[in-house]
Homo-oligomer: A and B are copies of this chain.
Amino acid sequence: MTQRIVIIGGGAAGIDVLEFLLREQTERKKAEITLIKREHEGFFSSCGLPFALQGRYELNELVLFKPEFYRAKGVDFRTGTEVTGITVPGKYVRLATGEELPYDDLVIATGGRPVIPPIPGTTLEGVFTLWSREDGERLKAVLDAECAKNAVVIGGGMIGLQAAVAFARNGLKTTVVEQCPSLLPAILDADVASVVQNWLPNEVTFRLGRAVRALEGAGHVASVRVNEEAIAADLVLIAAGMRPAVDLARTAGLALGACGGIKVNHALRVKRVGSYLNNVYALGDCIEVIDAVTKRSRLSQLASTALIQARVVTSNLLGGTATYGGCLSPTVASIGGLQVGSVGVTTAYARSCGMNVKAGIAIKYTKARFFPTRKLIVAKLLFDASTERLIGAQLISEEGIAERINELTLAIKAGATALELIMRERCFEPSLTMVEDVIVDAAMKAHKRATTP
């Protein structure tokens, strides 16, 4: 019998599973693969949206694959299609059309949806999210029309700040409102975040530690109320994070976790009525992961997280025994030319889990001090105070951040201590590196703090 695999969702997670299945399955044993998605594209890279708004390329560059691409490979690739239910005991999914689609193995990759704060006025005209291709097109049209003068971004995370830069570059006076007292609170400590804040263009101003009370206007948004202040706004972007899209999973009786995502085991199989199902998988923005440092449940809604999970799901779909371990969520973003990276825990998160943190922060150059094109680079490393093992890292510069984050991700996984970071070999050439990297200096500062009275 041919194995029938149904994938619900055509974002990065669903498409990654599809791609890996196509790569990995042998001619001899081909599965019958159906992918069902609500959107009309084959694969659209939503991570690329903020740069399209900045004018780096056209939005349609982000349609990386058309449905025909997958259909030509024998996939039943259904766009514009809604799944209305999953019947686990009967092994089928029901579509909005009434059709019932049987499966042997099911993959749930329903992703997330933008969080809309429970305040008045979020349905006014001129209020946007930045998630889908349609969101991007609507926002681009507003920017291209050059009518908007004042933008407010609700949320000081990666997407919010990247969009704020795009608005500022389009000539809009832009205000970022963030509930927490510092920017990028999910990935940066306040001291590192202040560097990012100072870097952003003058056209961007901030209201930190303040909540939005309401969006106001008659039909079209005209202002944003932040505490007692009314900030003029003819364009509002809500960038307040994503919640896991779990309606289908919940209705099907699947277990959800404390953070609102689908609960999965190490094989990324879902749980129902107390036990894990051997033929239903979930991955991506809709699930919860285990934090590799704190061992607690949390979300990791990154395309890079979905990619690794897709490898595990694909292997298991094809009879393997792959497992997904703790998650470190290395992350990086270019915010107006400043590269910001983070991996592992922040100080606040570690402390909230009862860990004692020893930190080292350093500022150096990316290349030899005599080399003309050197840039400044800031690194903050967090160590478990008792073991001096690395548990988190935050870096900022105009270059070389993503790769250092990848290195430090491996260092955390390998259990590297501050002393091991200091004593490790690194390559050197004056046009490309300093002989003592900023990472080494940050590790030394933390290590000193341990040994000096």
Contact = CB atoms under 8 A, between A and B. Distances in A.
Interface in A35-63: 45, 47-48, 51, 56-57, 61-62
Nearest to A414: B414
A423 B57 contact: no
Given A341-B427, A406-B407, A424-B409, A332 B432 contact: yes
A426 B45 contact: no
A425 interface: yes
B328 A425 contact: yes
A334 B432 contact: yes
Contacts of A302: 428
Interface in A386-425: 399-407, 409-411, 413-414, 416, 422-425
B327 A425 contact: yes
10 contacts: A45-B430, A51-B430, A57-B372, A304-B428, A304-B435, A307-B435, A330-B425, A333-B432, A406-B437, A409-B424
A451 B404 CA distance: 31
Interface of A: 12, 45, 47-48, 51, 56-57, 61-62, 64, 302-305, 307-308, 311-312, 322, 327-334, 339, 341, 343, 368-372, 399-407, 409-411, 413-414, 416, 422-433, 435-437
Contacts of A402: 400, 403, 427, 429, 432-433
Contacts of A401: 432
Given A57-B372, A339-B432, A371-B51, A308 B427 contact: no
Given A304-B425, A429-B47, A372 B407 contact: no
A308 B433 contact: no
Contacts of A368: 45, 47-48
Contacts of A407: 403, 406-407, 410
Contacts of A343: 427
Given A400-B400, A406-B407, A428 B47 contact: yes
Q: Which of A327, A413, A431 has the most CB of B within 10 A?
A: A431
